[in-house]
Structure 1
């Protein structure tokens, strides 16, 4: 009986330790110390994912704040800049995604360049590219009418100047 009691006592002593270590791990407590007194730090795939996710969120937050602050008031849509900053600070994920989705004004898309053509804007510096407006047929016809009227008027002026020069020329008749 002493043998069974000693075996039973050993199992009873090890079970609370096992249960205690499981509870500590579930509760988020520190890992049990190693032999030299330092805690065991386990770096798992899950902790790597948490670290990567946190880093991505931090970069997204910083990028959104920098983009909001450096934008001019005319390039910010739907809310004033101050409210966008507050939204991004208090709701980082939602605020940043909303800022990049609907809050900022993106430049107009250009046509896709042909193959082997360098992607270089025609403008230099930080200025916005000039916006080319497509003219309607009526506008082009009105421009042509003005051009025809201009050339007709120029021809009339040349004809009148020629008549005036003809009249000013001295006549040979005495």
Structure 2
């Protein structure tokens, strides 16, 4: 029975230290609810329960929807589906015309200096 208490106490201490370190090394954006310092205080002052609270409600997961990567319009499939095929074709045509005009402007030879 005494061995079980020693092993349980050792595991609780390891979990407590792991919780403190994990809470301290996470960036402030990954803390939910209260500020980072408050979470560290909770985990330190309430050893096992604080660690359980940290891992269940305090730590924001990397794949959390609130930290979604923002896509550019041409990479966003919902945006691409929202514009019709005719709009896309018209936009492509305008861009091609603009590129052709820019090519024509840069292909002209430089003006010759007229010296007396």
Q: TM above 0.5, one fold? A: yes
Residues 1:148 and 2:89 aligned together: yes
Q: State the 1:151 CA deviation.
A: 3.0
Residue-by-residue CA offset, 1:50-90 (whole Å, 9 max, x unaligned) = 01110111111111100111011111111111111111111
- How has the CA–CA distance of structure 1 residues 148 and 47 changed in structure 2, closer, same or farther, with 3 Å as cutoff? same
CA distance in 2, matches of 1:150, 1:49: 72
Structure 1 or 2, whichever has the larger Rg, is 1
Match of 1:87 in 2: 42
Structure 2: tracts of 5 or more residues without a match: 101-116
- With the length of structure 1 as denominator, give the TM-score of the two structures: 0.45
Offset of residue 135 of structure 1: 3.3
**What is the TM-score with the length of structure 2 in the denominator?**
0.65
Q: 2:77 aligns to what?
A: 135
Equivalent residue, structure 2, for 1:98: 53
Larger fraction in helix: 2
Residue matched to 2:108: none
- Matched residue count: 95
Higher relative contact order (CA 8 A, sep 6+): 2
**Aligned twin of 2:19:** 64
**Structure 1 residue 131: Cα displacement:** 4.0
Q: Give runs of aligned pairs for residues 23-172 of structure 1, distance below 5 A.
A: 46-108=1-63, 131=69, 135-136=77-78, 139-142=80-83, 144-153=85-94, 154=96
Deviating above 6 A after TM superposition, structure 1's stretches of 4 or more consecutive aligned residues are none
1:25-71 residue CA offsets vs partner (Å, 9 max, x unmatched): xxxxxxxxxxxxxxxxxxxxx11110111011111111110011101
Q: CA 1:140 to 1:66, structure 2 compared with 1: closer, same or farther past 3 Å?
A: same
- Which 5+ residue runs of structure 1 have no aligned equivalent? 1-45, 110-129, 159-174
Q: Distance in 1 between matches of 2:23 and 2:85?
A: 46
